């Protein structure tokens, strides 16, 4: 009986409201963009990524919780393997994790790329020495909301890896980003 009453109420509400389109609403304007949209899959530059080929260094300001996408469990709004970062092999990478998620601690480390991610990591071993933030699996001792942490490492092996949030459940929910080390010296980001 309850289902029938609820169904009748929903149908009545739809009929009473019309076709569901809001009346007299202004057309939405363009979304604000930090930079022009890049062609999908093409390396570009971003204000949070700097490469110095003479010094063989890369600086990355990686922001967790940039948007509310994926429950704030994202890096620059990207999650679930979308986007990516490429650095040249042999370069020294300085990565600063900035946590803008209003509720949750996050971490980052460079790990092996996986087809599926575990809910929790029993052991965290970064691909490159020093390529993981402190207490990476802890919800209470990782990089907390409003905090930042900087790590420095040498990307001394070419290959396809991932930037991973190791906090319980985060990688399994999509908080990871492709991280490639190029033997050909390519550098840049993919933001889509």
Q: What is the pLDDT of residues 137-146, one digit of tens each?
A: 999 999 999 9
**8 assigned to some structural domain:** no
Task: State the pLDDT at residue 41.
Answer: 75
Question: Beta-carbon neighbour count of residue 132 at 10 Å?
Answer: 21
Would you state the pLDDT for residue 40? 59
Residue 108 burial (C-beta neighbours within 10 Å; 0-12, 13-18, 19+): buried
**Three-class SS state of 152:** strand
Residue with the larger pLDDT of the pair 135 and 19:
135
Between 20-34, 67-81, 118-132, the lowest mean confidence (pLDDT) is in: 20-34
Percent of the chain's residues with pLDDT above 70: 79
Residue 126 is part of which domain span?
Answer: 43-190
The CATH number of the domain where 101 resides is what?
2.60.40.420
CA distances from 32 to 28, 29, 35, 36, 83 (A): 12, 9, 9, 10, 19
Please, what is the average pLDDT of the chain? 85
3-state secondary structure of 72: helix
Q: What local confidence, expressed as pLDDT, does residue 12 receive?
A: 37
Whole-angstrom distance, CA of residue 131 vs CA of residue 128: 5
Mean pLDDT of 167-179: 98
Task: Identify how many contiguous H helices and E strands the chain contains and give both numbers.
Answer: 1, 9
Does residue 84 lie in a domain region? Answer: yes
Within a domain: residue 13? no
Sheet with 92-99, strands from edge to edge, namely 49-52, 57-64, 92-99, 148-154
Count of Cβ atoms closer than 10 Å to residue 100 Cβ: 14
Contact, 150 vs 60, CB < 8 A?
A: no
Q: With respect to residue 56, please indicate whether it lies within any of the assigned structural domains.
A: yes
Examine residue 32 and state whether it is found in any structural domain, yes or no.
Answer: no
Q: pLDDT tens digit string along 36-88?
A: 445 557 899 899 999 999 999 999 999 999 999 999 999 999 999 999 999 99
Beta carbons of 88 and 187 less than 8 angstroms apart: yes
Domains in the chain, number: 1
Side-chain-side CA neighbours of 67 within 13 Å: the count stands at: 8
| Average pLDDT, integer, range 75-102 | 97
Q: Is the pLDDT of residue 14 over 70?
A: no
For the ranges 21-35, 49-63, 83-97, 151-165, which has the lowest average pLDDT?
A: 21-35
Work out the average pLDDT over 166-182. 98
In which band, very low, low, confident or very high, does the pLDDT at 192 lie, cut at 50, 70 and 90?
confident
| pLDDT above 80 (res 35) | no
Rounded Cα distance between 116 and 106, Å, is: 19
């Amino acid at each position: 009986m309850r289902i029938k009453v609820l169904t009748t109420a929903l149908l009545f509400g739809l009929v009473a409201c019309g076709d569901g389109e809001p009346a007299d609403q202004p057309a939405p304007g363009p979304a604000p963009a930090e930079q022009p949209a890049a062609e999908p899959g093409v390396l570009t530059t971003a204000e949070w990524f700097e490469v110095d080929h003479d010094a063989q260094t890369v600086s990355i300001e990686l922001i967790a919780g940039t948007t509310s996408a994926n429950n704030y469990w994202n890096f620059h709004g990207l999650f679930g393997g979308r986007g990516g970062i490429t650095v040249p092999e042999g370069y020294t990478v300085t990565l600063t994790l900035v946590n803008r998620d209003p509720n949750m601690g996050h971490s980052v480390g460079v790990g092996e790329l996986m087809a599926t991610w575990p809910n929790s990591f029993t052991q965290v071993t970064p691909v490159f020495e020093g390529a993981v933030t402190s207490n990476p699996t802890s919800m209470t001792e990782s990089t907390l909301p409003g905090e930042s942490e900087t790590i420095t490492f040498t990307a001394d092996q070419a290959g396809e890896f991932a930037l991973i949030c190791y906090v319980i459940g985060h990688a399994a929910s999509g908080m990871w980003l492709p991280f490639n080390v190029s033997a050909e010296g390519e550098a840049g980001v993919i933001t889509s």
